[in-house]
Structure 1
Amino acid sequence: MQYHTNSATFDLPAPLKDKSMHMFVMRDDGPSEFSVVITHADVLPEESLADFGDRLRQELGRALPRFQLRGLKECQVGASPAIELAYSWRKDGNFMHQRQAIVLVEGPAPGTRQAMMIAATCLNAFTEEWNAAFDGLLASMTLRNPLSVAAAAPKRKVVAATQPYTFALSARRRSLHVYANQAEACRKTDPREVELETWAFFDAAGNRLQPHFTAPNSYDPGLRNTGMYQLAAHPDPDATSLLDNLHLAAIYDPPMDVPGLPHLDAVRNFLEQQAA
């Protein structure tokens, strides 16, 4: 197979795989305050962009000490769908900070795909200057071998829940609650706040649930009756999962009647096991 780089073109022997890396640093000696590294990784045949992001996040959590996901969002790289992870980890007594954008591109062989990963690293928390620098780099990027939109962003697989647990995430309080079942979640969550869409609900596999009101809230000053609602599967199979939103939870209310979920890391591990 003929192989192309910025500096040369050559015939690549068939057994060899491309593990090339581009590294951009600010200084020749010692770590840079800000650096960017571009690498590629293989994508499994049926793996979507979201699936690859989930797998990468799990691998980072196992490999990096004190790994903490600080943000997860959809974005674009070279007009192609992409996702970005923001996270930190502990190294040599300090916390490193990284933003990593991931986009799927065509692989070196016909019909194959690769994940192209653009990672910016800071020795300290990202400043406005370094955030702007990385945002500008991503905005300026043009892909030489992009995938079609449909191939780059296939439907996310919906995992069937194996437990009756129901998770409730309050956007206003940034708190996550776990209930033994959907009925308990409905009883213990204020219907007025649910109507204002300040709560998001998920089943035990992390799939999004949608509330349906069976009795409306009353705002008559003389009555002030609260409504009643039930939860059902969300109609959009691509609705963001609890794993995608778990970084929004700053407060966790450990459940008394749901054993094995004493903290947020346990919740994350439980959801990852459900997905696996």
Structure 2
Amino acid sequence: MRHRTNELGFERPDWLFDRTYHLFTVAPEGPSPFSVVVSKVPIEDETLDEMVDRIVHDLQQSLDAFTLNLRKPDKVAGEDAVILQFEWVQEGRQLFQRQAALIHEGLSGRLLHQIAATATSDARPRHVAGFTELLATLRFRAPDDSSD
């Protein structure tokens, strides 16, 4: 299958799974007070609510002092989405995350897309604004876009 990134294209063997992650930070090196991760994972027949239930459960199990502050339905890129907002403690620091989860069926099949903006307490105002701005501009690429 032909695989495309922003900068190149190549033939991806069928036995390799595409679990692409895109990471954006405000710091060119090392830890960043604010970051955005865009990820996708193939899914079968699960509903969006079932996937979000699993995400929340996994976060509750893996993050210290996890607190879910918001779970609300929304629309992102024309698809039904769920917005989560939560916080937790990592290495003694309070971290905050807003996350959008949505399902989209495209050329690669049925995928769960997650867009997660994470911030330290000192970057929290930027965190809320940056996440909202990013979601407002999100669009899925046309299926006939075959340029490398």
Look up the SS of the partner of 2:64 in the other structure.
Answer: coil
Residue-by-residue CA offset, 1:2-43 (whole Å, 9 max, x unaligned): 111111111111110012111111112332221111011232
Letter of the structure 2 residue corresponding to residue 29 of structure 1? E
Look up the SS of the partner of 2:132 in the other structure.
Answer: helix
Cα distance, 1:99–1:115 mapped onto 2, change above 3 Å: same
- Hey, what's the Cα distance between the residues in 2 that align with 1:136 and 1:37? 14
| Residue aligning to 2:37 | 37
- Hey, what's the Cα distance between the residues in 2 that align with 1:77 and 1:100? 11
Residue-by-residue CA offset, 1:83-106 (whole Å, 9 max, x unaligned): 111111110111111001011122
Q: Is the 8 A contact 2:72 2:83 kept in 1?
A: yes
Confirm or deny that 1:122 pairs with 2:119. yes
| Residue aligning to 1:176 | none
Confirm or deny that 1:137 pairs with 2:131. no
| Residue aligning to 2:68 | 69
Look up the SS of the partner of 1:84 in the other structure.
Answer: strand
| Residue aligning to 1:60 | 59
Query: Over aligned residues, Cα RMSD in angstroms?
Result: 1.8
The number of aligned residues is 142
Confirm or deny that 1:20 pairs with 2:29. no
Structure with more relative contact order (C-alpha pairs < 8 Å, separation 6 or more): 2
Q: What is the deviation of 1:107?
A: 5.4
Write the mapping of 1:1-276 to structure 2, written as runs, cut at 5 A.
1-43=1-43, 45-106=44-105, 109=108, 112-124=109-121, 126-127=124-125, 129-144=126-141
The sequence identity of aligned pairs, in percent, is 34
| Residue aligning to 1:180 | none
Structure 2: gaps spanning 5 or more residues: 144-148
Which of these two proteins has the greater Rg computed from alpha carbons? 1
Letter of the structure 2 residue corresponding to residue 98 of structure 1? Q
TM-score by length of 2: 0.88
| Residue aligning to 1:208 | none
- Hey, what's the Cα distance between the residues in 1 that align with 2:142 and 2:61? 31
- Hey, what's the Cα distance between the residues in 1 that align with 2:7 and 2:54? 33
Letter of the structure 2 residue corresponding to residue 83 of structure 1? V
- Hey, what's the Cα distance between the residues in 2 that align with 1:40 and 1:145? 17
- Hey, what's the Cα distance between the residues in 1 that align with 2:80 and 2:29? 36
Residue-by-residue CA offset, 1:236-269 (whole Å, 9 max, x unaligned): xxxxxxxxxxxxxxxxxxxxxxxxxxxxxxxxxx
In the TM superposition, structure 1's runs of 4+ consecutive aligned residues that sit over 6 Å from their partners are: none
Q: What is the deviation of 1:140?
A: 0.9
TM-score by length of 1: 0.49
- Hey, what's the Cα distance between the residues in 2 that align with 1:145 and 1:103? 17
Cα distance, 1:139–1:96 mapped onto 2, change above 3 Å: same
Question: By percentage of residues, which structure has more strand?
Answer: 2
Letter of the structure 2 residue corresponding to residue 88 of structure 1? E
